Amino acid sequence: MDDSFNLHKSLMEDLIRDISEKKQAVINAKLKKLNIAVNIDTENRRLFKSLVCVTQGNQDTYYYNDGSINGLRIVTFVKKETQLFDSNSKFTMKMELDYY
């Protein structure tokens, strides 16, 4: 039982890391397209961020502080989750992450 739990935990950690890396790649590509250079390591140490995420329901929207009141929207990720039960009463969860 303990090995099964550790395997499940490891798989979930890998999945979360993979999703995070893919989201970061999309954000970096969008910033590059807008000719905005943000050093993520420096940004993570800043007290006042130039790049922020606003979460509303199943959406995460990233904004760049361009000096305007609302900021410049970089990208919005929309999460769609589906929970399924198969004939053996096993639980499966599917997640899609779209962005625009």
Q: Where are the domains of the chain?
A: 2-99
**Residue 64 carries which DSSP code?**
E
* Residue (of 79, 75, 61) closest to 19 by Cα position: 79
What φ, ψ does residue 60 adopt, rounded to 5°? -115, 120
pLDDT in tens, 3-16: 766 767 787 788 88
Token duo for residue 2: 């303990």
Strand partners, 54: 61
| Half-sphere exposure for 70 (CA within 13 Å, toward CB) | 4
In this structure, what are the phi and psi dihedrals at residue 85, rounded to the nearest 5 degrees? -125, 130
Q: What is the mean pLDDT of residues 85-95?
A: 70
Residue 32 has pLDDT above 70, yes or no: yes
Q: Hey, which residues does 13 pair with through a beta bridge?
A: none
Q: Taking the model in full, what pTM does it have? A: 0.77
What integer is the mean pLDDT of 52-78?
A: 95
